[in-house]
Amino acid sequence: MFGFINIYKPKGMTSHDVIYVLRCVTKIKQIGHTGTLDPFAEGVLPVCIGKATRLIEYLNDDKAYIGTVQLGKSTTTYDIEGETINISDKKVTAEEIESALNFFRGEIEQYPPIYSAIKVKGKKLYEYARKGEEVKIEPRKVKINRLEILEFNNIQNKLKILIECSKGTYIRSIANDLGEKLGTYGHLINLERIKAGKFLKENSVNLDSIKSIEDVRNNIINPLEYLDYPKYELNNEELKLISNGRNINISMKDGVTILIFDNKIAAIGECRNNIFECNKVFVN
């Protein structure tokens, strides 16, 4: 089996739990996801099956989320699962929130939460946090393409926002940092990923509907539909050369190119001066 499947991860499961379920159903070990979702979060989780796992690096990484922020309280994890650190009874207005959000739009530097899987000196940050050890966290550049208020309840001091962002953006950090920018505190109490590249919520499949390998086959996506690179149709002779890992001469612009045969990916690589150099071959 070769392709993608757009799974909607339920709350309470890790991304690895989803992979485990799919491996049990399909009996295929070569399965991987394209981006972790925290257990308390739900939403789109693109999964690659079989040799399609080798295409993960070529997928669009931009994400979109709907997050709910509770203002007035901060936690150790920046979300609902952490222990309370600070509390404030300050009330803010929608106008103040809109003004504060301007600091988070565009390219920004963001400090990831101490309770995250980012590695520093070979250890994950949450390992330092659990042992109470101090560690220097470096900021990371991320890009926020869209950040909008969807709802604001000034009585409950609760805010729902839409965020479109680059890979590696921590929505938990935005919730925490927004609270600080407003002169109060904040933490994330709900998170839903509605988009991951071209994988959309409305086209996703609920995990509990995957009961058999046939359910997977019925929802498998041809990678050609989701890879936005120039494509070149091989003839039989070129296919033989590619099957042996040979470079071929083709008239294409320089850059990543996908070679196809019979509506399937035969290889992916780069063109330079009309010469295609194989990076990964998918035919024998």
Q: Which residues are catalytically annotated? A: 38
Residue-by-residue DSSP string for the chain: --EEEEEEEPTT--HHHHHHHHHHHH--S-EEESS---TT-EEEEEEEEGGGGGGGGGS---EEEEEEEEETEEETTSBTTSPEEEE------HHHHHHHHGGGSEEEEEPPPSSS--EETTEEHHHHHHHT---PPPPEEEEEEEEEEEEEETTTTEEEEEEEE-TT--HHHHHHHHHHHTTS-EEEEEEEEEEETTEEGGG-EEGGG--SHHHHHHH-B-GGGT--S-EEE--HHHHHHHHTT--EE----SEEEEEEETTEEEEEEEEETTEEEEEEE---
